Structure 1
Amino acid sequence: MLREYRDEDAARLNQVALAAFRQFHEAYDDWPAMAASIGRMSVLSQTSEIIVAEDHGEIVGGVAYVPAGAAKAAYFDPHWPIIRMLVVDPQARGRGLGRLLTEECIARARRDRSPVIALHTTPVMSIALRMYLRMGFERFRDALSIYGVPYGVYILRLA
Structure 2
Amino acid sequence: MPAQTHTIRNARPEEFAELGKLMVQVYEALEGFPKPHEQPNYYSMLSNIGDFTQKPGAELLVAIGDDGRLAGGVVYFRDMQYYGSGGTATQEQQASGFRLLAVAPGMQGSGIGKLLTQACIAKAKAHGNRQVIIHSTKAMQTAWGMYERLGFKRSLDLDFMQGELPVFGFRLML
TM-score of the two chains, using structure 2 as the length reference: 0.82
Distance apart, 1:112 and its partner CA: 0.7
Residue 62 of structure 1, aligned match among 61, 73, 80: 73
CA displacement 1:49-103 (0-9 Å, x = unmatched): 1110012112120111101264233521342110111111112112100000000
1:12 alignment partner in structure 2? 18
Counterpart-to-counterpart distance in 1, 2:168 and 2:8: 27
User: Which 10-residue stretch deviates more, 25-34 or 71-80?
Assistant: 25-34
Q: How many residues align?
A: 158
Letter in 1 for 2:103: V
**1:1-159 → structure 2 map (5 Å cutoff):** 1-24=7-30, 26-28=32-34, 30-47=38-55, 48-55=58-65, 56-68=67-79, 70-72=81-83, 73=85, 74-76=87-89, 77-79=91-93, 80-141=95-156, 142-158=158-174
Q: For structure 1, list consecutive stretches of 5 or more residues without a partner in the other structure.
A: none
Larger RCO: 1 or 2 (CA < 8 Å, sep 6+): 1
Partner of 1:124, secondary structure, is: helix
User: Which 10-residue stretch deviates more, 56-65 or 16-25?
Assistant: 16-25
Tell me the percent identity: 27
Letter in 2 for 1:86: L
Shift of the 90–69 alpha-carbon distance from structure 1 to 2, 3 Å rule, reads closer
Shift of the 88–17 alpha-carbon distance from structure 1 to 2, 3 Å rule, reads same
Structure 1 segments (4+ residues) deviating >4 Å: none
| Structure 1 vs Structure 2 CA RMSD | 1.8
Query: For the Cα contact (< 8 Å) 1:50–1:65, is it kept in 2?
Result: yes
Letter in 1 for 2:17: A
Letter in 2 for 1:49: E
Counterpart-to-counterpart distance in 2, 1:75 and 1:133: 21
